[in-house]
Amino acid sequence: MKPNNSNIDLKQTLELFLSYWKWILSCVVIALTLGFTYLRYADYEYKANATIKIRDEEQSQKLPSLDDVKTNGLFSGGADKIKDEIRIIRSREIAENIIKKLDLNIRYYADGKIKEKEYYKNAPIKISFFESDSIIDRVNQILFIKIKSPTQYVLFKDKEQSLFDEREDSEGQLYDFGQKVETPYGGFVIVPNSLKNTLKPGTSIKVAIFPVRKLVNFYTKSVTITTEKGSSVIGLELKETVAKRAIDYLNELIKEYNNDVLKDKEEVVQVTSDFITNRLQKVSKELEEVDYTAEELQKRNNLTALGAQADLNLQTNKQLEQQIASTATDIQLISFLQEEIKADNKSSDMLPADVGIGDASTAQMIRSHNELVAERNRILKNSSPKNPVVINLNDQINAIKSNLERSLSNMKQTSELTLNNLNKENTRIRGQLYAAPTKARQFRDIKRQQDIKESLYLYLLEKREESAIRLGMYTPNAKIIENAYSSYLPIAPKPAIIYLASLILGLMVPIGIIYVIDLLDSKIYTKNDLANVLDIPYLGDIPKTSKKQKLIKRVDYSPKAEAFRIIRSNIDFILKDLKNQQKRLFVTSTKAQEGKSHTSTNLASSISFSEKSVLLIEMDIRVPKILDYLEIKEKPNKGLTDYIADSSIKPQDVVIKHPENKFLDIIPSGAIPPNPSELLMSPRVEELFKYFEKKYDYIVADTSAVGLVSDTLLISEFADMFVYVVSANNVDKRKLANIAQPLYDDHRLPKMTMLLNGVKQGKKGYGYGYGYGDNPNKKKKWYSFT
């Protein structure tokens, strides 16, 4: 059964890679070494997590509709609010406050055995600046400090060097701890940290001062905020090179966010409190004036006690007076609120809430107005006034303010109309008091004004106290579910992943290079390569050996000797029809330097070792090499060309005996002629073969390369079989297909067979396994795959 081609290709590909196992192993070792070096010098990254829940007091009082629950979940109504809160958490203002509070823009490093070691809250020294934060926050500077003694240090101002570079003390400047150092960005002092007991002389410390803006960009991008749809729980995550710093940052982030929210909530209360305080001052002054007027009137007119007639009249209009006082109070409060709405020099757009106006719709509009103003102000912290959301909020605020002004104006008109009617009624009743003294009536007018002012004053005092109590009752917006925590295990780089990546890289790079080279390679290496290009019978292959081992020996266990024995057997099988007849073997190739003479010599030697008489003819009369391969130093006077050119020379005159092999005779090429092709067309060539037809079992002829000259084609008729030698890793497939295949198809070379010469062991997925020919005493190396 024919083997599966895919299995063969896979096996050959695997064997191809295994043939380069030393190189692949070297690449893997180098890659793992690089991975180990990277892990040794890399800055490890740690992760901290925290979880908070956003409170929504108003949302908790309202249930979403059934459609919203079906579509988005129970908390769908607060989805937009959660997004707004996430934007606030990411705000640059909060990040800047955290960086300044934790001094994250100033970092300390010490030299370690392998790399720099960063201090966090445990540095042996501390630097303090004299200039304002606005200047220091823009500084980008690196300082190098070398401890000289517990009281002195040397300061180097050099950004190009690292802690590991050697510095002479003369390159820096000596300072005492606590001494002011002047710099272009202001002065600073360096003092020992109280957390460290001693300062070791010779210790080098690097102080890196970063611009706050740069760190703000880093932290706003590094903090990862996650939430699930329909949930008010938010997860915070931060990756940092120092785990404790990541924990501190997240904890401080939660605090800053809560402070920001509390600040917005308290702003409304503060505006209301300021409004009430201002009105109390005015009312107090007016009440004081009325009391003083009443006092003067009583002293001047002796009105400390009134008669029964006055009491009777007062009881009659008591109810009217109460109504007049209440209505006047409402009118004045409405006037105060109108003034507050129209004021242009206020620090805040907030309106006072719960000032006592009895209209419920007006109080609701004030609360809605303040909520929209607070929401707009919070968004403006991280956005611009051109934000569509801000513009929409401004439109809503203006609309509410317009409605509020109209409502207050209508209320005031109604109250004034009511007050006029009450005053008319009161005038009618007081007309009945004509018998009362004029002075008593004057005192009653003043008393009424006094009661109005006192009632308003007490009311405002009550509201101010309520505002003060409310100011301290607000709770943080973010409930902490889990404080920031870290496992203190590095998350990056992970050794397992780095080593795995190094291993994969170490394998893929050489394998990829080998695969690409093999893909682009058009040379012949194996029998399969020949079979894919040529449809010509395959005779065998010869392994590549060292140049010192040119000839095989009679007793030889090498793969090369065994390969020629196999070829010898294959030739006998192909020429089995010529039994008891002489076999003429012609050896040729596509071009020079393919091992044609080497194959002819060793093939003739291998046949002669089986005690068959062999005549080796050197018919490549252009570049003869047979005698060099046979190591025959004495050059004969006559050869093949001499025989053909001179009819007086007999065939036996040009034959020489091999000095060590009685079964092998040689006819050398002789003198190199000027016209090799014309010489080989001589009839004496045929006479030569007929003369030796009964004298030798085999004739092996080393002919010229058919891809270069036509010499071989001129004598091809005398051959029983052609051995076409192809040199591995030497001949292009396309050239071989254009030359060898047409010769076979046109029957230009009788019984043409292919022989692959110089095959390297293990290369291109090919391995030699001539087990019967191996030296049984030879031990295989441990890394041998074949």
List of long-range contacts for 448-451, beta carbons under 8 Å, 24+ apart:
448/321, 448/324, 448/325, 449/290, 450/287, 450/290, 450/291, 450/294, 451/321, 451/325
Instruction: State which residues of the chain have pLDDT below 50.
Output: 1-3, 59-66, 69-70, 72-76, 159-160, 163-164, 306, 309, 435, 765-773, 783, 785-786
Mutual angle of helices 596-609 and 559-574, in 10-degree steps = 80
Q: How many Cβ atoms from other residues are within 10 Å of residue 672's Cβ? A: 12
What tokens appear for 734 in the block?
Answer: 């396309």
List of long-range contacts for 657-664, beta carbons under 8 Å, 24+ apart:
658/630, 658/632, 659/632, 661/605, 661/608, 663/608, 663/609, 663/611, 663/612, 663/613, 663/614, 664/604, 664/605, 664/608, 664/614, 664/616
Distance CA 83, CA 101 (A): 26
Nearest CA-CA partner of 563 in 706, 707, 728: 728
Distance CA 50, CA 254 (A): 9
The per-residue pLDDT for 63 is 45
Distance CA 72, CA 53 (A): 19
Number of helices (H), then strands (E), belonging to the chain: the values are 24, 21
- What DSSP element (H or E) covers 51? strand 46-54
- Residues whose CB falls within 8 Å of the CB of residue 616, separated by 6 or more in sequence, listed in order: 600, 601, 604, 626, 664, 665, 666, 667, 700, 701, 702
Nearest CA-CA partner of 643 in 580, 598, 693, 685: 685
Q: Is the peptide bond before 493 cis (omega within 30 degrees of 0)?
A: yes
| Stated length of the chain | 786
- Residues whose CB falls within 8 Å of the CB of residue 328, separated by 6 or more in sequence, listed in order: 419, 452
Report phi then psi at 557, rounded to 5. -100, 5
Which residue in this structure is represented by tokens 């005690």?
A: 611
Distance CA 327, CA 472 (A): 33
The per-residue pLDDT for 532 is 86
Nearest CA-CA partner of 585 in 630, 629, 551, 539: 539
289-326 burial by CB neighbour count: b if 16+ within 10 A, else e?
ebeebbeebeeeeebeeeeeebeebbeebeebbebbbb
Distance CA 273, CA 468 (A): 7
Distance CA 533, CA 541 (A): 16
The per-residue pLDDT for 134 is 75
